[in-house]
């Protein structure tokens, strides 16, 4: 039986999620993607898939870890974050110990710290179990790979297929009727743009932490207005706390394609294919 030889083999966790689907959609034809499930992880099966998909002398092996339990409304403070952190460490430790592999983890801007710390034993001082677990995985990866890894913090990613408790799906369905922070500006990025950015960075020589964002911000009220949704809101104005620009991404040739001023059209055209 002929082997399926590829120049690059990518193990992908979370291949059924929004980001995972988009990564598979936009990945080069030269890349062979192997979907792996963290909860059904089998070392022997994964090793067999890797060995049958690559030439040990020429192929590059990478692992992009997008999977995380974020489908429930209370995911930020769910204890499942800690369980997934431990499982992530166990599986990645085996990969690093078994193969010459490049690890790429997906982080969040929520790791960057907070005003009211509820878990102050974490070096990055994030304010939720989700952010704390992501921050801890980043620090751990840096340690076990001696800095030879990639950690990509994605700003406020959105997609038409987000859970219904997320802001944009709620607005698309005609609600919410009340916005708690209508003028709090965030850097929203469509999943297709973030997927292309992830692929750009994984192909680059960039190591360590990178921020994936558009470099621009928009408020929930502006999003509601662009969708033509009528809302009620508190008039309190909060400034944009992010104000970051992904210079390294722009230099690598990546630019976002989705214009939030026409967000409704973009989302209506979005498909699972």
Task: Name the residue ranges covered by the structural domains of the chain.
Answer: 8-154
pLDDT of residue 270: 54
Angle between helices 129-144 and 80-98 (to 10 degrees): 10
Tally Cβ neighbours within 10 Å of residue 241: 13
Question: Which residues partner with 156 through β-bridges?
Answer: 188
Fold of 8-154: Rossmann fold (3.40.50)
Tokens 């662009």 locate to 226
CB atoms within 10 A of CB 87: 14
3-state helix, strand and coil shares in percent for the chain, rounded to the nearest 5: 35, 20, 45
Structure token pair of residue 187: 């850097």
Task: Write b or e for each residue in 28-46: b if 16 or more Cβ atoms lie within 10 A of its Cβ, otherwise e.
Answer: eeebbbbebebeeeeeeeb
Cis peptide leading into residue 245 (ω within 30°) = no
pLDDT tens-digit readout, 238-259:
554 444 556 677 788 888 887 6
Low-confidence ranges of the chain (pLDDT < 50): 1-6, 114-124, 240-243, 271-273
Whole-model pTM: value is 0.81
Q: What is the pLDDT of residue 265?
A: 59
Supply the pLDDT for residue 16: 84
């Amino acid at each position: 039986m002929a082997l399926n030889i590829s120049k690059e083999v990518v193990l992908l966790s979370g291949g059924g999620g929004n980001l995972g689907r988009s990564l598979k959609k936009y990945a080069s034809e030269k890349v062979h993607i192997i979907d792996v499930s963290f909860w059904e992880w089998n070392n022997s099966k994964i090793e067999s898939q890797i060995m049958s998909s690559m030439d040990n002398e020429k192929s590059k092996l990478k692992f992009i870890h997008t999977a995380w339990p974020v489908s429930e409304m209370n995911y930020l403070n769910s204890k499942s974050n800690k369980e997934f952190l431990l499982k992530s460490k166990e599986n990645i430790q085996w990969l690093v110990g078994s193969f010459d592999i490049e690890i790429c983890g997906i982080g969040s801007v929520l790791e960057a710290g907070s005003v009211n710390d509820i878990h102050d034993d974490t070096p990055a001082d994030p304010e939720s179990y989700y952010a704390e677990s992501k921050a801890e995985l980043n620090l751990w990866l840096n340690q076990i790979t001696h800095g030879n890894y990639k950690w990509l913090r994605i700003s406020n990613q959105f997609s038409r297929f987000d859970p219904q408790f997320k802001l944009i799906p709620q607005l698309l369905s005609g609600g919410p009727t009340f916005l708690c922070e209508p003028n709090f500006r965030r850097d929203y990025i469509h999943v297709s743009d973030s997927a292309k950015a992830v692929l750009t960075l994984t192909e680059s020589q960039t190591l360590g932490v990178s921020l994936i964002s558009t470099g621009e911000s928009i408020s929930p009220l502006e999003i509601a207005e662009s969708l033509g949704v009528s809302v009620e809101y508190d008039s309190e104005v909060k400034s944009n706390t992010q104000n970051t620009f992904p210079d390294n991404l722009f230099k690598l040739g990546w630019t976002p394609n989705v214009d939030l001023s026409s967000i409704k059209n973009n989302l209506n055209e979005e498909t699972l294919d």
